[in-house]
Amino acid sequence: MPTTRPRHTITEVGDVADALAKVRSVAGEADIRRLIVLGADTFLREADDRARAEARRAALKERLLARIAASAPVDPDAAREVRERGWARDLDT
């Protein structure tokens, strides 16, 4: 049937074949259209989660920078050491 919409051809090999085999083992048949929509929904939800996490990290970074600016000066050597070695605690004291 003629159309102006894009058409797609998917060959069931490799990871596509494996995924469809798993779906068919549970559902008996794989509704490709439904799987594409579900996959797109999942992709968009994960992208939104990543964007929210990045926004939260950016907000926390700004909050930390504001707290540092409002407080006592930071010891650059100590900050560099923590960055290179990580936090450490002397358990003997």
Does 56 or 72 have the greater pLDDT score?
A: 56
d(CA 78, CA 73): 12
Q: Is the pLDDT assigned to residue 93 strictly greater than 60?
A: no
d(CA 62, CA 53): 14
Does 86 or 41 have the greater pLDDT score?
A: 41
71 — pLDDT class (breaks 50, 70, 90): confident
Both tokens assigned to 6:
């894009």
Average pLDDT of the chain? 87
d(CA 74, CA 85): 17
90 — pLDDT class (breaks 50, 70, 90): low
What's the confidence (pLDDT) of residue 89? 63
What's the confidence (pLDDT) of residue 18? 96
